Amino acid sequence: MPKFLSQNIEIAFQDYNETSVANRPAIILVHGFASNSKINWVDTFWVEFLQKAGYRVITLDNRGHGLSQKLYDSSFYPARVMAQDVINLIDYLNLEDVSLLGFSMGARISAYVCLDAPERVRTVIFGGMGINLIKGMSNSESIIDGLMAEKLSDVRDKAARQFRIFAEHTKSDLKALAACLASSRAPISVQDVKNINIPALVAVGDQDTVGGSAEELAALLPQGHALVLEGKDHMRSTGTMAFKRGALEFLEQYDKKFIKI
């Protein structure tokens, strides 16, 4: 993956359609905590799905994740600071405006992109993040402890074990993830959410206790729409076809003049 400097930090990214469909609408995919662009978007066939629909697909590895630079100070990881990496990528690629698709932590980052650079965002999809965008995460400390434990067998908390198992599966830097989690999950205010006046789709599984209700968050967004993924929890909603089809239907409402299916 190529890299660029954002706030003096190396950020890895991939522009999958740079030459073939450069004149078509661009969408940037922002992955979730402890994941990376390959696992979140390539392995789940999102990149292929959106390419076939005519999109210029761009992914990045968030700081502390994947092939991007690892940092061990939590002050580098507030979601609003991480959002600047996405904005800087938009500038680096000389894009006029983009759609954003963020999952979980990536949705939180995308929300701040919408707040800080609304003129750069055409549409946004918040995946795996509903009303808990506002409520925040209550068990961060136990998850941090689980990430920093000497070995998995020492981790007793159920949620912490799930995150530790996933982090080991993605071959993540556990120390960097612990630093990230310490500051990246701070809640966004209700007023800030109401200020995101951009067409927004909130797609969350009906069994997703991490993300919370899609309908409740969508109701607060001036142009919000809810997509409830039936029978899906947080982890199992990522690559589901219902999510892909709902996302594409939403995107096409605003991009019909560009896309030829």
pLDDT at residue 99, rounded to an integer = 97
CA distance 124 to 83: 13
Give domain 3-136+186-255's CATH number out of 1.20.1280.290, 3.40.50.1820, 3.40.50.2000, 1.10.150.20. 3.40.50.1820
Read off the pLDDT of residues 181-218 as tens digits, 9 standing for 90 and up. 888 777 899 999 999 999 999 999 999 998 999 999 99
Which residues lie below 8 Å from residue 204, measured CB to CB, with a gap of 6+? Answer: 126, 127, 128, 129, 130, 211, 212, 213, 214, 217, 227, 228, 229, 237
CA distance 246 to 166: 26
pLDDT at residue 67, rounded to an integer = 97
pLDDT at residue 21, rounded to an integer = 54
Which parts of the chain sit beneath pLDDT 50? 261
Read off the pLDDT of residues 42-51 as tens digits, 9 standing for 90 and up. 999 999 999 9
Beta strands in the chain (DSSP E): 3-6, 9-15, 26-30, 56-60, 98-103, 121-127, 200-205, 224-229
pLDDT at residue 255, rounded to an integer = 86
CA distance 236 to 57: 22
